[in-house]
Structure 1
Amino acid sequence: MITSHGRHPGTASQTGQAQQAAQAQQAAQAQQAGQAQQAGTAGRHRRLALLLGATVVLSTACSSANGSVTPVASAPPASSTPTFSTTSASSSVPVPASSSLITAASSSAPTKPASSPATLSKSSPPATVAGCQAVSLAVVALRGSGAAGHQYAFLQFTNKSAKSCTLTGFPGVQLLRAGAPLGKPAARADKPVTTVQLAPGRSATARLVDDSTCQAEKSDSVQIIPPNQTQKFLVPLSIRGCALTVDPVIAG
């Protein structure tokens, strides 16, 4: 039977089914294309992730060989890119044993301090004390006790200045009577000589020995010259004018 439009009902039904089949086939092809595109994108993402992981592994291995690990900043992930953790890759890279030993040896090796050049300190020489001048001395003659055939006197030199000074050696001695020499000047005794340092107010003494076995007259004074000086001191002293011997000055 033919409709008003001139088409057979069975023909229209077949045409509709053919269109639906075509549309279904197009939809399946579109779905397959989308799945293929997603698979390609996922494959690219996996390759990118593997490349990034290999870069981190190589960087960690190089840093471990030098004795220190330098963190590598990862690029920010894309919105559709899966996030991969690099912690397991970093921790799974073995550190060479030789670098650990070198690092331990370097840290435990003692550090030798830099030696500074030796400094030689020069000590200043001790100040030299000058010899006592005659004007700095007070001189007296003190009569001592006698012994069989000998008489003694002590010639005393006192530093009356404000500075220390020294005396060394023998004084010169000559007995006098009424201003005239009595006998010969005193001879020097065979005794060692020492230097005596006199602080202000301190004294040194020289012993005078008189061989009194002679029958000479007695002196009324004695002329004394301090050691290494020329000025004469005239002081009272009464002993026989026999042979005289004088000792070097000593402290006291």
Structure 2
Amino acid sequence: MQRRIAALVLVPLLLVAGCDPAGEASGQPSTTPLPASSAPVTTTSSSPPGSTVPSGSQAEAAPCRTSELKISVQGAPGGGAAGSTYAWLVFTNVSARTCSLYGYPGVARLAGPEGPQVNDPLDHMGATTPTRVVLAPQASSHAVIQEGHPEAFEPNCHAVAIAGLRVYPPDETAAVFVPFAERACSAKGVDVGFVAPIVAGLSE
């Protein structure tokens, strides 16, 4: 009689021990969700209205399209030094959304709005590391252009007048003509000039 009672007690205990709501008893991994606090969290820097924000994580800011930018040229502070002249290629977000720019613009000199191209495109200036720049609507950023004095490269320079620049924003295949009257070497590879990566704002 005692053995029968013990058996009746043991069976429910075994059934309870074999029940695993997380699926561990069946050999399957638990599907219990992690707490929300364990998910990765990304933050961005805050900034005053109309400013630009460099940030390491900007998945929310898609790249700026050529049609969303106004591109112009202005003199750089100081103008030039050590046989070079400097200018700023300015990119202003004229769209209604926030977008981002990363890297070097493509820049070539043109004899007129429709061409032809004069000399080779500007080389990349390697002294500055590119960073992603986030542009709020109406905010601006810039890239430095460095050029030599054409007369310093004669008689191989063959300086000619140019009317402006053909500019491609980073990762874009559509270009715009930016008026910029100057003289430049027409001989291939002579005093080609340099363009730096785009940086935030309109200060040095």
**Shorter-chain TM-score range:** 0.5 to 0.7
What is the TM-score of this pair, normalised by structure 1? 0.49
Please say if residues 220 and 236 of structure 1, whose CA atoms lie closer than 8 Å, have aligned partners that are also in contact.
Answer: yes
CA–CA separation in structure 1 for the residues paired with 2:75 and 2:117: 19
Match of 1:232 in 2: 175
- Deviates further, 211-220 or 124-133: 124-133
**1:162 Cα deviation from its structure 2 partner:** 1.3
Match of 1:186 in 2: 122
Provide structure 2 residue ranges, at least 5 long, that are not aligned to the other structure: 1-33, 43-58, 185-190
**Residue 235 of structure 1 aligns to a residue in which SS?**
strand
Please say if residues 143 and 237 of structure 1, whose CA atoms lie closer than 8 Å, have aligned partners that are also in contact.
Answer: no
Pick the aligned partner of 2:81 from 139, 142, 147: 147
- Normalized per residue, the structure richer in strand is 2
Name the count of aligned residue pairs: 136
Between the two proteins, what is the percent identity of the paired residues?
A: 32
- Which of 1 and 2 has higher RCO (CA within 8 Å, sep 6+)? 2
Match of 2:70 in 1: 138
**Residue 146 of structure 1 aligns to a residue in which SS?**
strand
Match of 1:6 in 2: none
**1:142 Cα deviation from its structure 2 partner:** 1.6
CA–CA separation in structure 1 for the residues paired with 2:83 and 2:109: 18
Q: Residues 135-193 of structure 1, C-alpha deviation per residue, up to 9 Å, x if partnerless? A: 11111122342334211221111111111111000000001113321111000011211
- Normalized per residue, the structure richer in helix is 1
**1:218 Cα deviation from its structure 2 partner:** 3.2
**1:217 Cα deviation from its structure 2 partner:** 2.1
Letter in 2 for 1:206: A
Please say if residues 206 and 249 of structure 1, whose CA atoms lie closer than 8 Å, have aligned partners that are also in contact.
Answer: yes
Matches within 5 A, 1:1-252: 120-122=35-37, 128-144=60-76, 145-178=79-112, 179-190=115-126, 191-212=128-149, 213-215=152-154, 216-241=159-184, 242-252=191-201
Letter in 1 for 2:193: L
**Residue 218 of structure 1 aligns to a residue in which SS?**
strand
What is the TM-score of this pair, normalised by structure 2? 0.60
CA–CA separation in structure 2 for the residues paired with 1:165 and 1:219: 31
Please say if residues 133 and 229 of structure 1, whose CA atoms lie closer than 8 Å, have aligned partners that are also in contact.
Answer: yes
Q: Residues 11-68 of structure 1, C-alpha deviation per residue, up to 9 Å, x if partnerless? A: xxxxxxxxxxxxxxxxxxxxxxxxxxxxxxxxxxxxxxxxxxxxxxxxxxxxxxxxxx
Letter in 1 for 2:36: S
Name the larger-Rg structure: 1
CA–CA separation in structure 1 for the residues paired with 2:143 and 2:66: 16
RMSD: 2.3
